[in-house]
Amino acid sequence: MGVVGLVAALLSGAAAVVVGAVAGVTAAAAAAVSLFAAARRPSDRGSALAWRWLAGGSATWLVGIGVRPLADGTPFAVTFADLVLLAGTVMLAVGTGLCAVRPAHGQALLRDLADAYVCAASLFVIGWVLLLGPAYRDAGDAGTFAVTLASPLLCLVLTCAVGPAVVPARRSAWPVGLAALVVLAAVTASETVTALARLTGDAPPLSEVWLAPAAFLLLAAVAWSDRTARAKASGDTEDTGLLGDRGDTGEPGDTETEQEAAEPLVGQATSPLVAATPLVLVVVAAVVVLLRVLGGGIQGPVVVLALVSVSVVVVLVMRLFVVLMETGRMRRLVDLGERQLHDLAESTGDVVLLCDYEGVVREIGEGVETTYGYRPDELIGGRIFDYIHPEDVPAIQVALRAMSLDEEPAEGAGTCMVACRVRAADGTWRPTESVATRQMRGEELLLVTTRDVSDQEALRNQVAHLTFHDGVTGLPNRAYFEERTREVLARPGASSAAVVFLDLDGFTAVNDSVGHASGDYLLGQAARRLRAAVRADDTLARWGGDEFAVLLEAATDAQTVVDLAERLVRTVSSEPFRVADRDVALTASVGVAFADEDVSSADLIRNADVAMARAKELGGRRVEVFAAHMHTDVVRRLELAADLQRALLENQFAIEYQPVVDLATSRVTAVEALVRWWRGSAFVPPEHFLGPAEDTGLIVPLSEWILREACREVAAWRASSWEIGLSLNLSARQIMAPRFVESVESALEESGLPPSALTLEVIEEMLVEDAEETVNRLSELRELGVRLAIDDFGTGYASLALLRQLPVDMIKIDPSFVSGLGSDETLTLLTRTIVRLGHDLGLIVVAEGIERPEQLELLREMGCTRGQGFLVARPMAARGVDSLMRTSLSSLPSGV
């Protein structure tokens, strides 16, 4: 009978059913395979159970849809295939529900069931008025009608039951859950159409036949794409753990757990829309019924529609009653919590008040009179800012304004902690610590809890002062100085620090002649003189006895430290000290020591002490520098600075150009200008004079000369039909020069070089120090049309952030990366990553320091577009570039 029925179906007008069955089997099989494969990944174990249920439901559904054409020939209203399809639908509903954040319990479960019933009943009413009523009239047999529609109605109930839990659940399995919900809706629609077709004896429309298969294909695609995305995210997480030292456990499912921890917040954000859905459906159903009544009446038994409508009203009334009960209970709990909080704060001695965001006090506790001396009625209606120190008011107003603008604060954002000074009734300013929290009482207010911390503050200050200050002079003591020196030397760039030791010559005679009390008085006078002589950011301390120490945290150069030491000598000996009605003339011996990379704080202090002892041995009233090489370096730098100035006046500098070539075509695309200095007949390496030039400021006129000369030379080459660009390195001091942008614009106008042909290079460290001002200057250059490049890319620590802020055109890979190509796998991988990053950002990538053929071959294979180095072309004078351009670099070195 089954084979005969299938043949009859194929020969009749029900071919669409067979086509739909084949499509449904194929789509459901694809969904089942995709879901089973996704559930096998270890990182997906949090959603594996849901996906197994969905996969099982898809497999069961495909069995049912596969045998339906065979079972449709039976005389029964509900066939075995319908039962299998119904079982598959139930499994799909279970899997869809498991994709929610968490199963509901207690009142939440009852609420979800009520919402599901209202949604299902409303949709049933709409369907009855539009479709089922006329079908009932045509069917004639009420029993057959009810049995035929049982399956689609159950599908509708299942869809409405799991929908409210899945839609707002933005967990990792949410896309699959949403796609599964679409499958349930499509199955419900498909089963409804099939049931109506059975009642009328017609074949279902082809568009409806394809509805469920299309939904299953969507589920398969979402499951597979989510599996791929998870695999990629898992790989990225492993890479981050290796390169970034995140300290992850490495256990499977860590990412899943972290994602699920944050999911309830997202779900709560969309819950109002989901909660309103039942009411919207009820309104739509009522409108449909009303329109049908006005248009000619409702077909079919009205009693069914009336019973369903009455049940919806009853459920809604019960739901409203429960909501009112919950609201009342929550209100009582809030009031109880506020009373308990108020009582707790009052018992601890804190002052509790309610105010608005403008600072107007609405309520205040009785404790304010005990703590600050104000009666509560004096403060209510006034502004708290009238009692806060004026220096603290702006910061508090900014904090309160931020709280008022933050409509949906994240966790902890609704609380603000404030430390300020409050004026008491006696006029004293008392340090306080306050916590402001949002409160809703008809309007949004702030609950502020304030604690007077005057005693704690005074105790902390006293303990800190006694621990780290000298009782005679009031200066920091030896313990503070040693700790401060350790902190300074631990910072990056601590080699610019220096320590100065000072000893009062002849102070022992003062103690012997006028006593130790008078000697202490003299030490106080000396401390005041020395404090006035040192800079505000220098640390002056009393080391012990008649010795003082000065820590210079950021000495610009050695000569500055020596000048300070000599000023201290003059300060002590400039006029006598008045002690015990007599004048006492003293001098000072001063020792200076400079920090170095290998010098600890204890060694640095010791070196300064040794230098001071040497000064005393030589007769006192003098300055001695520890380590002769430091003094020699000062002299050498002064001489070098003078020679640099003379070299600028006598044109001792020259420019060489290193070609930058297109690695694919071997064509020279640009040259990088490099400065060279011949002091007489001796060549001075750039690393020996560029640093002093930067320190002395001579780098600015030198760079301007290089810019003008290089622009003029390259403009001449371009005039001979050579399309070539120019690259120049910028220094930090040059960028911050007052007329830096104007000087670049002037050089371009004088030479006739197009701005687009000029590329200015900066290193990453320049973009970190004074980042905002530097970026502004470079952006002005970019507006002129000048191109920007980051040199030595990958060696700093701010590249990725600044690639977003600064309109960069080019990145240049540091030679340290290129040198390891072909021999170091890590450097090769990093170089490949930088090239890929540059391509993804649309930047030109230039490799520097190409010296070996295998490096060039690897760079070509990576897709690096440009390069420079000794293998390509060495730096050369303008005449060499002229000749090189004429040959156009017809080929690169052989063997590459």
> What does the pLDDT read at residue 37?
75
Helix axes 516-533, 507-514, angle to 10 degrees: 140
Taking the C-alpha atoms of residue 858 and residue 345, their distance in angstroms, rounded to an integer, is 70
- Whether the per-residue pLDDT at 379 is higher than 50: the answer is yes
How confident is the model over 691-706, as pLDDT tens digits? 888 877 888 899 999 9
Residue 157 structure tokens: 């109930």
Check residue 88 and give its pLDDT. 81
Lowest mean pLDDT among 46-60, 261-275, 739-753: 261-275
- What's the CA gap between 39 and 230, in Å, rounded? 12
- pLDDT band, residue 548 (cuts 50/70/90): very high
Answer whether 158's CB lies under 8 Å from 89's CB.
Answer: yes
Residue 369: its pLDDT value, please?
Answer: 87
Q: In angstroms, what is the C-alpha Rg of the chain?
A: 42
Contact by Cβ (8 Å): 51, 95:
yes
The pLDDT of residue 203: 60
Confidence class of residue 721 from pLDDT cuts 50, 70 and 90? confident
Question: Is the pLDDT at 797 greater than 60, yes or no?
Answer: no
Q: Of 604-608, 763-767, 797-801, which has the strongest mean pLDDT? A: 604-608
**How many whole angstroms separate alpha carbon 235 and alpha carbon 41?**
13
Mean pLDDT within 158-167: 76
pTM of the model: 0.38
Give the span between the Cα atoms of 122 and 88, in whole angstroms. Answer: 25
Burial class of residue 328, CB neighbours in 10 A (0-12, 13-18, 19+): exposed
Taking 70 as the threshold, does the pLDDT of residue 635 lie above it? Answer: no
Answer whether 315's CB lies under 8 Å from 151's CB: no
Give me the chain's average pLDDT, please. 79
Query: What are the tens digits of pLDDT across the range 345-372?
Result: 667 678 888 888 888 998 888 888 888 9
In the structure, what pLDDT confidence band is assigned to residue 73 with cuts at 50, 70 and 90?
Answer: low
pLDDT of residue 300: 63
H helix or E strand, kind and range, residue 863: none
The DSSP line for 495-547 is GG-EEEEEEEETHHHHHHHH-HHHHHHHHHHHHHHHHHHS-TTSEEEEEETTE
Q: Do 181 and 159 contact (CB within 8 A), yes or no?
A: yes
Residue type present at position 226? D
Between 428 and 248, the more confident residue is 428
Q: Is the pLDDT of residue 892 over 80?
A: no
| CA–CA gap between residue 715 and residue 756 (Å, rounded) | 12
Query: Of 438, 452, 415, whose CA–CA distance to 356 is shortest?
Result: 438
Where is 448: in which H helix or E strand?
strand 443-452
Among candidates 623, 534, 520, which has minimal Cα distance to 577?
520
Q: Residue 12 pLDDT > 50, yes or no?
A: no
Q: pLDDT at position 171, please? A: 58
pLDDT band at 278 (very low <50, low <70, confident <90, very high): confident
Cα separations in angstroms, 381 against 356, 358, 362, 363, 432: 10, 11, 6, 9, 21
What's the pLDDT score for residue 547? 93
271 falls in which pLDDT band (50, 70, 90)? low
Rounded CA gap, 158 and 186, in Å?
12
The residues pairing with 431 across neighbouring beta strands, listed in sequence order, are 421
Q: Quick one: tokens of 868?
A: 């420079």
Alpha-carbon span 393 to 380, nearest angstrom: 19
Q: Where are the alpha helices (DSSP H) in 348-434?
A: 367-372, 376-379, 393-405
Give the three-class secondary structure for 165.
helix
Contacts of 111 (CB under 8 A, 6+ apart): 104, 319, 322
Residues with Cβ < 8 Å from 797, sequence gap 6 or more?
764, 768
Query: Given its phi and psi angles, is residue 113 left (phi above 0), alpha (psi -120 to 50 degrees) or beta?
Result: alpha
For every residue of 697-718, which 3-state class applies, written as one string? CCHHHHHHHHHHHHHHHHHHHH
Residue 427 one-letter amino acid: G
How large is the average pLDDT for residues 46-57? 76
Q: 580: part of which helix (H) or strand (E)?
A: none
Beta bridge partners of 758: 726
> Given pLDDT bands bounded at 50, 70 and 90, which one contains residue 142?
low
Q: Tell me the pLDDT tens digit for each residue of 836-890.
A: 988 888 889 999 999 999 989 999 999 999 999 998 888 998 888 878 766 654 4
Q: Which helix (H) or strand (E) holds 761?
A: strand 758-763
579, pLDDT greater than 80: yes
Handedness of CA 378, 384, 385, 390 (dihedral sign): positive
The phi, psi pair for 388, rounded to 5°, reads -100, 145
Give the model's pLDDT for residue 619: 84
CB atoms within 10 A of CB 657: 26
